[in-house]
């Protein structure tokens, strides 16, 4: 079987959970580039010798330059139930980021209205009355400060595109390596944004599940415990 470029964190008949590496898109890229969902489909097809197309549903995405936990549904029923959990905010999503500078408050809540800029493939903060705007909200906690940087834990309440990157970058604390949202410091691979913990209810058994993943080795330069 062809080797896949990411660890499998969990797998059963309904779910597939991976630890996505930096610069691998979740989906939507053209050859010769590949995506996490394409590689995951090949993995399922070969491992279980499935004929025809393999179903995998994307419940939520992870930006290409980011790393960490990515969840796929292996059946349409699982996809529908998981989507409902995300919509009803019953899923816990914890991220870790390295940001430039030190935030004035060690804990807090960030709330903005955001909209898409399709032309430049980015997001902007805006006003509630702007057509197409959506609310973005997250809670944060500063864990460590070092090397003119801060390690911050973020819990998303909403799941907007580029949400963490935009909300911190727009306040002058960009994620390290994220030039799109204002970072001036390089990061050796992708950006310093990692999806480290995901907790949800299994869509079929109803049992609580929790997945964790350490940041990649690129974080060691900042003294962060990593894989």
CATH code for residues 8-214:
3.30.2350.10
Q: Percent of the chain having pLDDT more than 90? A: 83
**pLDDT > 70? residue 1:** no
Which residue ranges make up each domain of the chain?
Answer: 8-214
Place of tokens 């944004």: 193
133 or 120, which is more confident: 133
| pLDDT (average), residues 196-218 | 97
Q: 3-class SS at 159?
A: coil
Q: Which runs of E-coded beta strand occur in 52-207?
A: 57-58, 67-73, 92-100, 107-117, 122-126, 134-146, 149-156, 193-201
Task: Say how far apart CA 187 and CA 11 lie, in whole Å.
Answer: 31
**pLDDT > 60? residue 185:** yes
Place of tokens 């079929």: 204
Residue 42 half-sphere exposure, CB side, CA atoms within 13 Å? 11
Residue 89 is predicted with a pLDDT of 92
Rg (CA), the chain: 18
| pLDDT (average), residues 10-30 | 95
Task: Say how far apart CA 70 and CA 58 lie, in whole Å.
Answer: 9
Residue 129 is predicted with a pLDDT of 93
Residue 169 is predicted with a pLDDT of 98
pLDDT band at residue 227 using 50, 70 and 90 as cut-offs: confident
| pLDDT (average), residues 55-74 | 96
Cα 30-34-163 angle, rounded to 5 deg: 85
Burial class (CB in 10 A: 0-12, 13-18, 19+), 87: exposed
Residues marked active site are found at 63
| pLDDT (average), residues 110-126 | 93
pLDDT band at residue 120 using 50, 70 and 90 as cut-offs: confident
**Host H or E run for residue 46:** helix 36-47
């Amino acid at each position: 079987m062809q080797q896949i470029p990411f660890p499998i964190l969990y797998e059963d008949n309904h779910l597939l959970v991976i630890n996505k590496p930096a610069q691998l898109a979740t989906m939507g890229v053209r050859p010769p580039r590949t995506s996490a969902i394409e590689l995951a489909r090949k993995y399922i097809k070969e491992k279980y010798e499935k004929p025809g197309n393999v179903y995998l549903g994307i419940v939520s995405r992870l930006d290409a330059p980011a790393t960490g936990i990515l969840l796929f549904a292996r059946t349409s029923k699982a996809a529908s139930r998981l989507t409902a959990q995300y919509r009803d905010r019953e899923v816990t999503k914890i991220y870790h980021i390295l940001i430039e500078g030190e935030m004035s408050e060690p804990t807090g809540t960030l709330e903005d209205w955001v909209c898409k800029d399709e032309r430049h493939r980015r997001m902007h903060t805006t006003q509630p009355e702007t057509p197409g705007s959506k609310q973005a909200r997250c809670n944060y906690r500063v864990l460590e400060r070092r090397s003119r940087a801060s390690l911050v834990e973020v819990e998303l309440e909403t799941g907007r595109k580029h949400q963490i990157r935009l909300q911190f970058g727009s306040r002058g604390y960009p994620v390290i390596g994220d030039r799109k949202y204002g970072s001036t410091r390089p990061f050796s691979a992708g950006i310093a944004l990692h999806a480290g913990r995901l907790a949800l209810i299994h869509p079929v058994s109803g049992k609580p599940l929790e997945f964790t993943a350490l940041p990649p080795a690129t974080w060691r330069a900042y003294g962060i415990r990593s894989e």
